Amino acid sequence: MAAEATIGLTGLAVMGRNLARNIARHGHTIAVHNRTTARTTALVDEFGDEGDFVASESMEEFVASIERPRAIVIMVKAGEPTDAVIDELVPLLDEGDIVVDGGNAHFTDTLRREQALQERGLHFVGMGVSGGEEGALNGPSIMVGGSDEAYERLGPVLESIAAEVDGTPCCTHVGPDAAGHFVKMVHNGIEYADMQLIAESYDLLRNVAGLEPAEIAAVFRDWNDGDLESFLIEITAVVLEHTDAETGRPFVDVVQDAAEQKGTGRWTVQSALDLGVPVTGIAEATFARSLSGHTEQRSAARTVFATDPEGTPLDDRDAFVDDVRAALYASKVVAYAQGFDQVAAGSDEHDWDVDPGAMATIWRGGCIIRAQFLDRIKEAYADEPDLTTLLTAPYFADAVRDGESAWRRVVATAVGAGVPTPAFSSSLAYFDGLRREHLPAALIQALRDNFGAHTYARVDREGTFHTAWADDLSESEA
């Protein structure tokens, strides 16, 4: 078969099929392949008129149909299935060819794969694709890792199919090897925090303010007209105003309250623990999902602690609703500040030189966390490229300062009413910890030195010290 395709894609489940259609729709000849040929046939039969598809039954035929240096996108389940496709592909490739993993791979798998293929003269690209099935078809946000050479070959195609904001594609070369998959992982972690904050806002409006789901939908729709504008806020209104056809009840009341997770949020927290980045919002969001799934423990706890604390009735419901909006925004600033801290820490650790402003730029559209908010982050890093935390960027500092008292009122009201707000309250604790002049960590250092002789630094002079706690309490320089 003549090599006529600009790019190839194997793995035609919904994400892969939609990405292939998006590429074909943008005028690129794309070679398509799937382990089950029926899927390939179905794609061409149903959508063949959308562009130039070159369908192949075998992997050999598929590879032969792609022009050199070949660019081949793998869109199969993360983990072993991806390794299996790589193992099948590599023997068929020539030096300089490019293998792209568009799945939600763990970035350490991408590091391993990139190293292995580099040793065989091949390029391996970990590519984060965000926006779900709809984004894959109509414009995702694309976070591309790998070599400069690979991006030179891939960039024109990927930038043409990505979402666009202000004429700028939501696609960029994030950095070498696993940089793309790493920032996609952190994107998903931020997504978890965003969703948890929205869920806690809903819980407060429902169970403290006493609003019905349809009324809460109207509140979210209103918030979506302001600085909380985002895809997640928008679809929250859609979900909350939906009525279950079968029962006529609010849809949210017929959904089981046990949240699942494919793993990217968990990976984000595990990585943050290794990097020493306190992503408290993302961690609490991830643990809240786990807690919701411990249905046996929950039912036992409900039996033992039957009564809900009597919350004090609200003086002014509208004021509380606005307080929740302010608390949501302030907590969101914390969650994003923490997520961008993790991107910076990962970039330093792996020498990726990731540009945080570029991440905010490509997250403005196409991805699940897309929001007006990302424009403000882009501006913050443009004004101060070495910003140590987003929290102190003037725009966000003002927002948090303006919302601080509301934030405290909401957390206090939630505590009084027995409504769990792990993300709201941990974000407030992070804010208070970060700006505190004297933290109780001094006592922790002293205790560590007492029981483990782990030493400590003093505030009044340089050096490392130990006190002879079991002896005469004298201090010596370690």
Residues 129-148 that bind ligand 6PG (CB under 6 A): 130-132
The residue number with the shortest CB distance to ligand 6PG is 130
Is residue 262 near ligand 6PG by the rule CB under 6 A? yes
By C-alpha distance, which of 382, 388, 433, 170 is closest to 278?
Answer: 433
Distance of CA 460 to the CA centre of its chain: 42
Candidate segments 235-243, 256-264, 419-427, 451-459, binder of ligand 6PG by CB under 6 A: 256-264
183 lies in the site for ligand 6PG, by CB under 6 A: no
Nearer to ligand 6PG, 89 or 369 (CB): 369
Q: Does 191 bind ligand 6PG (CB under 6 A)?
A: yes
| Contact of 274 with 345, CB cutoff 8 Å | no
Least distance in Å: CB of 238 to ligand 6PG?
16
261 binds ligand 6PG (CB under 6 A): yes
* 160 or 261: CB nearest ligand 6PG: 261
Residue 264 interacts with ligand 6PG (CB under 6 A): yes or no:
yes
- Least gap, CB of 289 to ligand 6PG (angstroms): 8
* Separation of first and last alpha carbons in the chain: 73
- Please report how close the Cβ of residue 367 comes to ligand 6PG at its closest, in angstroms: 6
Binding segment for ligand 6PG among 207-215, 259-267, 321-329, 453-461 (CB under 6 A)?
259-267
Region of 32-40, 217-225, 261-269, 306-314 interacting with ligand 6PG (CB under 6 A): 261-269
| Annotation says 475 is catalytic | no
Alpha helices (H) in 96-230, listed in sequence order:
107-118, 132-138, 148-161, 179-207, 213-223
Peptide bond before residue 69 is cis, with ω within 30 degrees of 0: yes
Q: Give the residue among 61, 19, 27 at the shortest CA–CA distance from 43.
A: 19
Q: Determine contact, residues 171/144, Cβ cutoff 8 Å.
A: yes
Burial of 79 (0-12, 13-18, 19+ CB in 10 A): middle
**Residue with Cβ nearer ligand 6PG (29 or 110):** 110
- Looking at 18, 172, 188, 286, which residue binds ligand 6PG (CB under 6 A)? 188
Q: Which of 454, 455, 452, 400 is nearest to 427 (CA)?
A: 400
Question: For residues 213 and 265, which CB has a smaller minimum distance to ligand 6PG in the complex?
Answer: 265
β-sheet bridge partners, residue 100: 73, 125
**Minimum distance from residue 133 beta carbon to ligand 6PG (Å):** 9
Of 86-94, 125-133, 315-323, 410-418, the window that binds ligand 6PG (rule: CB under 6 A) is 125-133
Query: In whole angstroms, how close is the CB of 189 to ligand 6PG at the nearest point?
Result: 9
Residues 361-400: x/- map of binding to ligand 6PG (CB under 6 A)? Answer: ------xx--------------------------------
Pick one of 56, 82, 104, 286: the residue that binds ligand 6PG (CB under 6 A): 104
CB of 132 to ligand 6PG, least distance (A): 4
The SS3 assignment for 210 reads: coil
User: Active site residue: 184, 241, 284, 332, which one?
Assistant: 184
How far apart CA 352 and CA 361 sit, in angstroms, is 18
| DSSP-assigned letters across all residues of 296-351 | HHHHHHHHHT-PPP-PPPPS-HHHHHHHHHHHHHHHHHHHHHHHHHHHHHHHHHHT
CB of 361 to ligand 6PG, least distance (A): 16
Element spanning 53, H or E: strand 53-55
- Is residue 449 a contact residue for ligand 6PG (CB under 6 A)? no
Instruction: State which residue, 118 or 261, has the beta carbon closest to ligand 6PG.
Output: 261
Given 114, 159, 191, 284, the catalytic residue: 191
Phi, psi at 8, each rounded to 5°: -125, 155
User: For residues 188 and 347, which CB has a smaller minimum distance to ligand 6PG in the complex?
Assistant: 188
- Contact window for ligand 6PG (CB under 6 A) among 238-246, 260-268, 380-388, 404-412: 260-268
d(CA 311, CA 320): 14
What letter represents residue 470's amino acid? A
Q: Quick check: is 262 catalytic?
A: no
Q: Which two tokens stand for residue 184?
A: 């996609």
Q: CB of 144 within 8 A of CB of 158? A: yes
Is residue 265 within the footprint of ligand 6PG (CB under 6 A)?
Answer: yes
Residue where the block lists tokens 């505030």: 459
Q: What are phi and psi of 35, to 5 degrees?
A: -55, -45
Least spacing, CB of residue 288 vs ligand 6PG, in Å: 12
Angle at 375 between CA 407 and CA 204, to 5 degrees: 25
Instruction: Give the shortest CB-382-to-ligand 6PG separation in angstroms.
Output: 25
Catalytic residues, by residue number, are 184, 191
Binding stretches for ligand 6PG (CB under 6 A): 104, 130-132, 188, 191, 261-262, 264-265, 367-368
